[in-house]
Amino acid sequence: MKNPESRILLQPGKNLFIISLFYLLLGCFAFFFEFLLLVWLLTGAGLIPFIFTDAVILILLNDRLQITREIPFSLAQGEGVQVKLFISRADKRSLLPSSVLLYDLYPDSMTAGIFPAKIDRKALKSPNGLVFEYTLLPNYRGPWVFQGAELLLGSLLRFWNLRVTHNSRELASRGRTYPNFKQITRGTELKANPITGETRQIRKRGQGLEFESLRDYQEGDSMRLIDWRATSRGRRLDGRLKLIVRNYQEEQDQQVLFIIDSGYRLPDFQFDRALDAMVLLSYVALKHGDSVAACSFGACERWIAPRKGLSALTGLMNGLYDIHSAPVPSSPFSALENALTRLHRRSFIVLISNFREEDAESLAWILPAIKRRHLLLLVSFREAEAEALAFPAADSKPEILETAAAFSYLASRRRLYRKWEQNGLLVLETSPQHISGALINKYLEIKKSGRL
């Protein structure tokens, strides 16, 4: 039975190749020995009916089979997912092919390493067919589409193979691969070590900036937290005063804007780590009651308006999951300038790029305006290669000029960062592996200090 949504291609099989090679050799011998000429002609005449009949049975009488696929719509980058292929007979009256090889045409952004897979013919005789499961690994973020699936059906004598490509609606799987955010579920409050990148849960208790409630005094509370007016109105049964303290929480309903560079400054690995850190910190900020906005500049320009509540995290992920960096020019100055036109209230701006000495002059024009209205954190990655050249290992033999150049380059970056810090800006330099922990640390530190 032919499926109108499939393509069919007849291909020579392994046995046909072997027979053809044997017949060619026999013809070569017949050229030199006349007594083999008749054998060669009779052999060819005898093989042709079998080869032709084998092709006709495969094309007209064999079942084409039918396939449907089951895969989740949302996948996590680097996290294996189980894919199910349901294979069954399209026509119970047709013959089953002598062999079946399966190819699932998954996207280039994924790997499986299992195909071609041999299908058990006996399982296909079941009324419900068979379920073929395999693990698929999404390697890159972005949208994905399956092109279909292919079956390589073998003929009875293995002279021919029929390649059937299925493109039915059931196989037109589409979806999205997001960054892997398993660590988001570890807790509602995260504290991170900017050196090692390790995170641990912390208790939020004590004085912040925003009054929350009154509660009974507990051992270890500061005397400055005691509310003497509330204490004077309450007494214990024995007549003694019952100490009441004020409970504070970190100020909420603030705004955080993330700006990420998708140009030449951040290669793919650094960009992916920066994007992961952005969404993870967005989760933490939303849990603290702040609103979160995000934008990108360089190869891809996006703007996601500020929103509050954990539901905003879904919109943020949908808006950023398919962004990738590319070797194109990017301007942090223009990104900040565009952000200022969209911001209507004081915000904590986190700009992630790779800043160099030439940025000092261009940013000098806009940094004073930002400092008056907002709090800006400039995040830059450490130059691992330059550090390796500037501080070579004891057993290496570095080139003096390369070492001097690398040391001078790193020193100029440090001078730039110190200059920005002296002007009241925040600067964070970290490695791609530890950026998530460093950013969370900085955010919680700023929240606690009340600088927002």
In a domain, 89, yes or no: yes
Does 219 or 381 have the greater pLDDT score? Answer: 381
**CA dist., res. 405 & res. 429, Å (int):** 20
Instruction: Quote the Cα angle for 271-277-278, to 5°.
Output: 90
In a domain, 201, yes or no: no
pLDDT at 81: 94
32 and 148 inside one domain? yes
Query: Looking at residue 383, which CATH number applies to its domain?
Result: 3.40.50.410
Is the model's pLDDT at 159 over the cut of 70?
A: yes
Range of the domain at 99: 1-178
Q: Confidence class of residue 234 from pLDDT cuts 50, 70 and 90?
A: low
Query: Looking at residue 19, which CATH number applies to its domain?
Result: 2.60.40.10
In a domain, 280, yes or no: yes
Is the model's pLDDT at 387 over the cut of 70?
A: no
- Per cent of the chain over pLDDT 70 is 82
In a domain, 63, yes or no: yes
Does 357 or 258 have the greater pLDDT score? Answer: 258
Is the model's pLDDT at 408 over the cut of 80?
A: no
Which secondary-structure segment (H or E) carries 410?
Answer: helix 400-422
Is the model's pLDDT at 424 over the cut of 60?
A: yes
Give residue-wise pLDDT tens across range 292-302: 999 999 999 99
33 and 105 inside one domain? yes
309 and 340 inside one domain? yes
Is the model's pLDDT at 258 over the cut of 50?
A: yes
117 and 228 inside one domain? no
Is the model's pLDDT at 1 over the cut of 80?
A: no
Q: Confidence class of residue 205 from pLDDT cuts 50, 70 and 90?
A: very low
Mean of the per-residue pLDDT values of the chain: 82
163 and 271 inside one domain? no
383 and 294 inside one domain? yes
Number of domains in the chain: 3
5 and 132 inside one domain? yes
- Choose one of 225, 249, 273: the last residue of a domain: 249
- Choose one of 233, 249, 265: the last residue of a domain: 249
Question: Which residue shows structure tokens 């026509």?
Answer: 91
235 and 289 inside one domain? no
243 and 271 inside one domain? no
Is the model's pLDDT at 72 over the cut of 90?
A: yes
Taking a C-beta distance cutoff of 8 angstroms, is the pair 98, 154 a contact? yes
Instruction: Quote the Cα angle for 178-184-190, to 5°.
Output: 145
154 and 242 inside one domain? no
Which secondary-structure segment (H or E) carries 251?
Answer: none
pLDDT at 249: 52
pLDDT at 220: 64
- Choose one of 231, 249, 267: the last residue of a domain: 249
In a domain, 199, yes or no: no
The pair phi, psi for residue 57, each rounded to 5°, is: -60, -40
Which among 9, 180, 171, 178 has a CA at the least distance from the CA of 106? 171
Is the model's pLDDT at 248 over the cut of 70?
A: no
Q: Confidence class of residue 202 from pLDDT cuts 50, 70 and 90?
A: very low
Instruction: Quote the Cα angle for 440-372-277, to 5°.
Output: 20
Does 359 or 377 have the greater pLDDT score? Answer: 377
Is the model's pLDDT at 21 over the cut of 90?
A: yes
392 and 417 inside one domain? yes
239 and 259 inside one domain? no
**HEC letters along 325-361:** CCCCCCCHHHHHHHHHHHCCCCCEEEEECCCCCCHHH
Q: Confidence class of residue 208 from pLDDT cuts 50, 70 and 90?
A: very low
Is the model's pLDDT at 185 over the cut of 60?
A: no
- Tell me the mean pLDDT in the region 211-236: 68
- Tell me the mean pLDDT in the region 372-389: 81
Is the model's pLDDT at 251 over the cut of 80?
A: no
pLDDT at 55: 92
Q: Confidence class of residue 398 from pLDDT cuts 50, 70 and 90?
A: low
In a domain, 206, yes or no: no
- Tell me the mean pLDDT in the region 118-144: 90
Is the model's pLDDT at 200 over the cut of 70?
A: no
In a domain, 64, yes or no: yes
Q: CA 204, 208, 214, 219 torsion: positive or negative?
A: positive
In a domain, 442, yes or no: yes
Which among 302, 319, 76, 310 has a CA at the least distance from the CA of 175? 76
Q: Confidence class of residue 186 from pLDDT cuts 50, 70 and 90?
A: very low
The gap from C-alpha 425 to its chain's centroid, in whole angstroms, comes to 31
Taking a C-beta distance cutoff of 8 angstroms, is the pair 374, 349 a contact? yes
**CA dist., res. 217 & res. 432, Å (int):** 44
Does 196 or 254 have the greater pLDDT score? Answer: 254
